Structure 1
Amino acid sequence: MKNSITLLSLFLFFSINVCGQNSTQNQEESLGSIENPEIAVRINLDSITLPKSSEMLSENSFWALIENSLKETTNQEDQEIFLVSAIEKLTPQEMIGFRLRTDKLLFDTYNENLWCAAYIMNGGCSDGGFEYFRCWLISRGKEVFYNVKENPDSLINEVIVGQENYEFEGFWYVAMNAFKNKTDKELFSYIDYDRFVTNDENYPVLKFSWNIDEPKTMGVICPVLFKNLWK
């Protein structure tokens, strides 16, 4: 009888320990999922159908994201991080739309007058530099963007003493990086280029009325910037 009680006690002790270990393991796995939210939020596009898109994010939504990034950050690096994080919260369709809206704004500002302003402000401006200059312009917000689009000389209001470069290369990639982080896919694979044509492949051929070998011709286009910044 005594031996039977001893065996029963050992069995109960072993059962309780095993159950406790399983419970602890389940709790740890659950906490692990919470501590690694990326696992929970990553979208598996292999399991859903996402058609190619030509639909831009609405201007209101686009500029709201930009304005929030300006309010919450004080430098380009932090603004880039903020935007990637904010775009990751959008749907895949909206992330594509953010990129398409960016492309449209870049397309709309591809002109000789703004290139002249970029050349003066940066002391030179290549093709790539002009692209990143306009990315910087977009990153300054809706009001600045449309004021400059209307009058490039208004950029004098954005000049910071001691700053020699006005470009934002990282802005060009924020939507693509967010899409990659969220879906593990390349955003450009989901753009319908047959329908969306306002992109860099279709930039117009520019005819320049200013010439870097004749600097005064730049002063005709952007007299205020030229007077204050050209050396």
Structure 2
Amino acid sequence: MELAMTRENFWKYIAEAHKKEKDNNGIMNYLVEKLSNRSYEEIFSFGIIVDEIMLESYNQRLWCASYLLNGDTREESFDFFRLWLISQGEKIYNDVMKNPDNLIKYVEEPDEDFIADLYENEDFFFVAVDAFGIKNDMGIFEELFEIYLGEFDSYKEKLHYNDEDYPKLKLTWCEKVPKSMKKICPKLFERFYIGENEYTRN
């Protein structure tokens, strides 16, 4: 059986949200509201597609770009960065997957109000969960999340869908070896890196 939502429709949802809303909160709210009006199968399929793209984008070159932008090597930070990247839409996602250094075209100019998590979007992971909650008129997140996961897993079992394990990455870069990062993302490096744990936006 195929997913109830195609990749094409997944990206259309995100493109439509960007056309309708300008800020991240508005985009997330639009996606949640829109998805809540769809079938359970489509909601769960949206969640599966997010998981699939997260797996596909799990590579060491992109992790280097994530570190240069956000200054954090933790896997959790890399997860939130990839969620941000996916939430930017198909065109930007594909361009950056071809070459992580292409991010230089999409990052904002610095200002005094720069927020450290500008290039992270944990909320995108919960779009399907929140849509499921609205559809079922559920307000307590802990209860909602537990029920959602149970239904989500049941849907995957119905599809005979098997989750793939994340690969073990061998990093060819290190935050303590600047040249190793410059080799992977020279443009991002020149713009953001000025020393170990020191970042600027010139």
Q: TM-score, with normalisation over the residues of structure 2?
A: 0.82
1:174 maps to 2:127: yes
Selected match of 1:80 from 20, 28, 31: 28
Give a deviation string over 1:51-85, Cα, whole Å, max 9, x none. xx983620111011000111111111111111110
* Identity, % of aligned positions: 31
Bigger mean CA deviation after superposition, 145-154 or 155-164: 155-164
Report what 1:33 is aligned to: none
Q: Which runs of 4+ in 1 moved over 3 A?
A: none
Structure 2, unaligned runs of 5 or more: 139-143, 195-202
Q: Distance in 2 between matches of 1:64 and 1:148?
A: 18
1:208 maps to 2:190: no
Whether the 8 Å contact between 1:54 and 1:196 is mirrored in structure 2 is: no
Q: Distance in 2 between matches of 1:90 and 1:148?
A: 30
Selected match of 2:3 from 46, 55, 77: 55
Q: TM-score, with normalisation over the residues of structure 1?
A: 0.72
Query: What's the RMSD between the two structures over aligned residues?
Result: 1.7
Whether the 8 Å contact between 1:80 and 1:171 is mirrored in structure 2 is: yes
Amino acid in the other structure paired with 2:167? P
Amino acid in the other structure paired with 2:125? W
Q: Distance in 1 between matches of 2:2 and 2:9?
A: 17
Q: Distance in 1 between matches of 2:188 and 2:5?
A: 33
Deviation at 1:219, TM superposition (A): 0.6
Q: Distance in 1 between matches of 2:44 and 2:148?
A: 7
Give a deviation string over 1:162-216, Cα, whole Å, max 9, x none. 2443001111101111112213553221222662314xxx111110010111121
Report what 2:101 is aligned to: 153
Aligned pairs, number: 176
Q: Distance in 1 between matches of 2:58 and 2:172?
A: 15
Structure number with higher helix proportion: 1
Report what 1:125 is aligned to: 73
Report what 1:217 is aligned to: 180
Q: Distance in 2 between matches of 1:188 and 1:179?
A: 10
Residues 2-13 of structure 1 correspond to what in structure 2 (within 5 A)? none
Deviation at 1:87, TM superposition (A): 0.7
Aligned to 1:128, what secondary structure does the other structure show?
A: helix
1:71 maps to 2:32: no
Selected match of 1:104 from 39, 46, 52: 52
Selected match of 1:196 from 153, 157, 162: 162
Q: Which protein has the larger Cα radius of gyration, Structure 1 or Structure 2?
A: 1
Q: Distance in 1 between matches of 2:162 and 2:38?
A: 20
Structure 1, unaligned runs of 5 or more: 1-52
Whether the 8 Å contact between 2:4 and 2:41 is mirrored in structure 1 is: no
